[in-house]
Amino acid sequence: MQVDLRTPWWIGAVRIPTRLVLAPMAGVSVQAFRRQGRRFGAGLVCSEMVSCAGIEHRNERTLGYLRVGSDEHPLAIQIFGSEPATMAEAARMVEAAGADIVDINFGCPVKKVTKTGAGATLLEDPARAVGIVRAVAEAVDIPVSVKMRRGLENGSRACLDIGPRLEEAGAASLTLHPRSARQMYTGDADHTLTAELVERVEVPVVASGDVTSRARAQAVLATTGAAAVMVGRGAQGNPWALREILGEDGAGPSREEVAAELVLFVRETVRELGERRASSFLKKFYGWYLGRGRFPRPFKQELVQLATTEDVELRLLAAAPGAAELLERLEAELPTGDEILLDMPISIYGGG
- Of the residues 46, 52, 108, 159, only one is catalytic, namely 108
Distance, CA of 231 to CA of 19 (rounded, Å): 11
- Could you give the residue ranges of the DSSP H alpha helices within the chain? 31-39, 52-57, 84-96, 111-114, 126-139, 158-169, 191-200, 214-224, 240-246, 255-273, 275-281, 283-290, 297-304, 309-319, 323-333
Neighbours of 279 (CB within 10 A): 20
- DSSP, collapsed to helix, strand or coil, labels residue 298 as helix
Question: Is 108 annotated as catalytic?
Answer: yes
* Rg for the chain, CA atoms, rounded: 20
- 173 contacts 196 by C-beta, under 8 angstroms: no
DSSP character string of 30-58: -HHHHHHHHHTT-SEEEPPPEEHHHHHH-
* Cα 55 from chain centre: 20
Give the largest CA-CA distance in the chain: 58
Q: Which residues, at least 6 apart from 113, have a Cβ–Cβ distance to it below 8 Å?
A: 80, 105, 119, 120, 121, 349, 350, 352
According to DSSP, residue 61 is labeled P
Distance, CA of 140 to CA of 136 (rounded, Å): 7
Nearest to 76 by CA among 42, 122, 40, 110: 42
Residues labelled catalytic: 108
